[in-house]
Structure 1
Amino acid sequence: MSLGAHLIELRKRLFLAALAIVLGSIAGFVVSDVVLAAMIRPISELAAEQDRNASLNFTDVSSAFDLRIQIAFTVGVVISSPVWLYQLWAFVMPGLKKNEKRYAIGFVAAAVPLFLAGCAAGWFVLPHMVTLLTGFAPEGTTALLTARSYFDFVLKLVLAIGIAFVLPVFLVLLNFAGVLTAKAILKSWRIAILAVTLFTAIATPAADVMSMFLLAIPMIGLYFAAAGIAWLHDRRAARIAARIDLELAV
């Protein structure tokens, strides 16, 4: 394809991706009441558990509408992700070699469900994070949470844990690229477990040990699963290298 044809193809893919996001955002605006109610629930539980006044506040005239737009856009990006991911893949795929396509398909097929599972785990620990962080306020005070800041906190927490679940896939990708060996991954298992434990301890209150383990166990399991896949790949690469050396020696 010529440069002009590539640009036309890119414009077509971007238009379809943008259209999917717009339609998804419209659907997101329709369900924004449900999403907002789910977000406010931890604040209501906070007020009951800590016996203090806690509420979500809108500090200016347009902040309520702005929050609905933010929620709508976020939901739109999530529910339209199969469409815009496919458009991105369809644009990039013709330029990949056969083995590169196989690796890319495997990466996307593993990363997307793991990211969604991580986001679900982030939503699971959200009430604990709200309780933990607001618990540092002195007794008798009122928790007045700004709507925009609270939404940003929720979004960053959910995305952070979602990305944490995808990190083992990047370890496998680095191994396949020859940057990282399975031996190096396994050698760092103590550091990995310590990092996961600290992360889950921060994400859940100290008193809620069960939630900490429910979050830590799958993350540690994913780390060792990545090490196992890397080990199998290293063995296969070693066999291929040995066969090539044998053929060259003959």
Structure 2
Amino acid sequence: MAEQTQSGFVSHLIELRNRLMKALLTILLFFIALVYFANDIYSFVAAPLVAHLPSTATMIATDVTAPFFAPFKLTLFVALFASIPLILHQIWGFIAPGLYQHEKRMLMPILASSIILFYGGIAFCYFIVLPIILGFFTSAGPEMMTLAPDISSYLSFALKLFFAFGVAFEIPVAIMLLCWSGATTTQSLKEKRPYIVVGVFVVAMFLTPPDVLSQSLLALPMLVLFEIGLILATFYTAKPEQHESKE
């Protein structure tokens, strides 16, 4: 019996290793396919900033290696973001055999929604938040100032915002999982709404640059998503365990 348990544990470790290798290989393949377009990808990401620069201003590189490493780093992150659906597929393939059929039916929509919401958060940041923030910052300085943003600094700024909004848009998924697992209920969350509102602004303060505009542009969508999560969570309330066999 002990030998069978040990053999099962080892087989799970081997499967986990294989799936991790497939996930890393996916990222590598995406990176190889995209690295040729690294400069074009950076130009696309920098477009919201360039659109607000004066006609005589340009972006600069304060480090001699930055013109190479900044697009290279961005391409790696793009490859990671593009690989997320396939990475989650590997995760699902690892945990699905241990789930009941009704659990699979409940979790599959959540898994798909998490991918859509993550990309939706990044798109919201790029098309709406960045133009507003950059338009404000580039017009707020004194007239005698010459604006020349560093490409590495802007990349760090943009990636931080992309990640913050991508994660923040997962709030409905988090709420549904908490309610489905029985860790909390929609009624309990509604009663704690005032504390959650304060907590959302505190989280936004840590996830965004230190300015009120960025924090508000993240906190307000988070509050809207929280309310959406409460509505959707009514379909994912904890129920008595159903006696179904695992497949």
CA distance in 2, matches of 1:135, 1:196: 28
CA distance in 1, matches of 2:62, 2:21: 36
1:219, distance to aligned residue in structure 2 (A) = 5.3
1:247 paired residue number: none
Alignment partner of 1:92 out of 75, 90, 95: 95
Alignment partner of 1:4 out of 10, 13, 17: 10
1:13 paired residue number: 19
Corresponding position: 1:145 with 2:153: no
1:164 paired residue number: 168
The total of aligned residue pairs comes to 226
Matched-pair contact (CA < 8 Å) for 2:53–2:138: no
| Sequence identity (%) | 30
1:103, distance to aligned residue in structure 2 (A) = 3.8
Matched-pair contact (CA < 8 Å) for 2:84–2:115: no
**1:212-227 mapped onto 2 (5 Å cutoff):** 221-227=224-230
| TM-score normalised to structure 1 length | 0.75
Q: What are structure 1's unaligned runs of at least 5 residues?
A: 206-211, 242-250
Residue by residue over 1:6-57, the C-alpha shift from the partner in whole angstroms, topping out at 9 and shown as x without a partner, is 2322232122211111110112212323221123323332223xx8x64322
1:66, distance to aligned residue in structure 2 (A) = 0.8
Matched-pair contact (CA < 8 Å) for 1:27–1:72: no
- Aligned CA RMSD, in angstroms, stands at 3.2
Alignment partner of 1:83 out of 86, 89, 97: 86
Residues 232 and 73 of structure 1: is their aligned pair in 2 closer, same or farther, counting only changes over 3 Å?
closer
2:63 paired residue number: 60
Would you identify which runs of 4 or more consecutive aligned residues in structure 1 move more than 4 Å?
188-201, 218-221
Matched-pair contact (CA < 8 Å) for 1:129–1:204: no
Residues 132 and 196 of structure 1: is their aligned pair in 2 closer, same or farther, counting only changes over 3 Å?
farther
CA distance in 1, matches of 2:14, 2:177: 31
1:58 partner SS: coil
Matched-pair contact (CA < 8 Å) for 1:110–1:169: yes
